[in-house]
A = this chain, B = another copy of it.
Amino acid sequence: MTETEAKKAPEGPQDRLAQVVDLLQRHKLIEDLTHRQEGGHQALVESLVHRQNLAELQRKLNELHPADVARILEALPFEERLTIWQLVKAERDGDILLEVSDAVRETLIADMDDHELLAAAKEMNADELADLAPELPRDVVHELMESLDGQQRERVRSALSYDSDQVGALMNFGMVTIREDVSLEVVLRYLRRLKELPGHTDKLFVVDYDGVLKGVLPIKRLLVNDPEKQVSDVMASDPVTFHPDEDAYEAAQAFERYDLVSSPVVDKNGKLIGRLTIDEIVDLIREESESEVLNMAGLREEEDIFASVWRSLRNRWAWLAINLVTAFAASRVIGLFGDAIERLVALAALMPIVAGIGGNSGNQTITMIVRAMALDQLGSGNTLRLLRKELGVSLINGLIWGGVIGVVAWLLYDSWKLGAVMVAAMTLNLLLAAFMGVLIPMTLAKLGKDPAMGASVMITAVTDSGGFLIFLGLATFFLMG
């Protein structure tokens, strides 16, 4: 970020982060911390140096933005992570817990006792509490809820009642509401009395006496218009609004399309109940694309890169086990053609080419489709057209690349028939890959699943078994007269 050459620019949070990272690296504090239990005289001396370093580190850490502390914690292995976590001032625990990734948060919470957890959670808003609650011990949650006032408790309960992919789970309650029949001057005076505005307040929400949303007053308009004007003359009466049970990903797309910073959430009667802000949306977009990548590779969830071997195993087993079954099925297909392979061992060498290229091409198709579905570009109307296109691409790829490898096979094994079988098998398997590459994600979506879920394992299963069957079948038919 702003490096040392930029002396004249004010020192921002990034500079402070760079300093701490530098400190961690320069003093090899990370390594010191790891080896601190190793005994001996030398260790004592080192530990004195070490304690000084720790004090400096602690001071620097407390100057950092909570998100930066979170980032440092995420990048540290388990043991060092907890050491740094203990250095952080207790009153900042809550802010930092809200910033770290789920996997890392779990390790930090496990390290805190109930008392510390309660203290950290007491500073939080209703929406923040709802984010954290599912991961807290049950008795801590109970005690927390008891300590809240009625409105807050209701808000936490309501936020918890939505699925994590619904707008209701993302909304917060930091709203400034005004009436439409007052002048901008009155609004300006009202804001001054508030002393502080909630984060990401780019518009004020105009409601009637029943709390029904009448429109929004963008701060921009408040600032440039004559203070004598009425709110109702200046406000926008057709704002983008959301319902709490709406799909959060669709809300994210609306934020992107309309370049929103904040937006009101209303219930079925149009009553204002909360708001969405861009920071939550950005996190959601990030998570969405992450889960797409993870799901395609057959990983169940995001994995803390320093997670224990055991946790990683659990995360990866499901799809590996499925892959085992599909690989075994492909193996049985080959088993059916044992005789043919015994008579012409070249088949064994050539068959993985057919399967492999089919898998790769299928993965390309599936990636395209999953992306188009995520962007909502696929309706039932254009599926057929898309399928035609993918089949066209596969046909040409099959004839051309199959042709290349067919000629090579011909020359290598001195059999033009074998070459021709290779071309035909490649082309057919690529067509199969295209067909299933379109069908698999669409079927998953129809079943209400994530279209990317294990897509890579599934397409490979089809192109492997299919490739072996097509190639060995054609070879048996045409070569084994």
Contacts and interface: CB of A to CB of B under 8 A. Distances in A.
Given A6-B243, A331-B349, 5 more contacts: A191-B223, A261-B278, A306-B385, A320-B364, A363-B456
Interface string A1-33: 111011111111110000000000100001100
Interface residues of A, number: 155
Given A200-B259, A223-B192, A286-B256, A360 B457 contact: yes
B191 A224 contact: yes
A411 interface: no
A294 B367 contact: yes
Contacts of A351: 348, 352
Contacts of A219: 219, 223
Interface string A216-250: 00011001111000000000011111110010001
Contacts of A242: 1-2
A393 B348 CA distance: 31
Total copies of this chain within the assembly: 2
A378 B223 contact: no
A123 interface: no
A241 B195 CA distance: 26
B357 A324 contact: yes
A400 to B, nearest CB: 9
A92 to B, nearest CB: 15
A139 interface: no
Contacts of A1: 240, 242, 246, 250, 254
Contacts of A474: none
A309 to B, nearest CB: 4
Nearest to A256: B282
Contacts of A202: 200, 202, 261
B456 A13 contact: no
A473 interface: no
A220 B279 CA distance: 17
Q: Could you tell me the dominant secondary structure of chain A's interface residues?
A: helix
Contacts of A158: none
A299 B250 contact: no
15 contacts: A9-B213, A13-B258, A30-B381, A71-B376, A191-B223, A201-B220, A282-B282, A297-B367, A303-B368, A307-B389, A312-B393, A319-B364, A328-B405, A342-B345, A356-B460
A356 B341 contact: no
Contacts of A243: 2-3, 6
A405 B324 CA distance: 8
Interface in A386-430: 386, 389, 392-393, 396-397, 401, 404-405, 408
Contacts of A14: 240, 254
A54 interface: no
A352 B226 CA distance: 75
Given A9-B266, A327-B357, A360-B460, A382 B75 contact: yes
A65 interface: yes
Interface in A266-297: 266, 268-270, 278-279, 281-283, 285-286, 289-290, 292-294, 296-297
Contact of A352 (B254, B327, B346, B386): B327
A172 interface: no
Contact of A360 (B10, B200, B319): B319
Top 4 A-B pairs, shortest CB-CB distance: A289-B289, A8-B270, A67-B257, A297-B367
B293 A371 contact: yes
Contacts of A283: 256
A350 interface: yes
Contacts of A312: 389, 393
Interface in A334-351: 334-335, 338, 341-342, 345-351
Contact of A279 (B67, B259, B404): B259
A214 B359 CA distance: 57
Given A14-B254, A368-B305, A223 B332 contact: no
A101 to B, nearest CB: 9
A55 interface: no
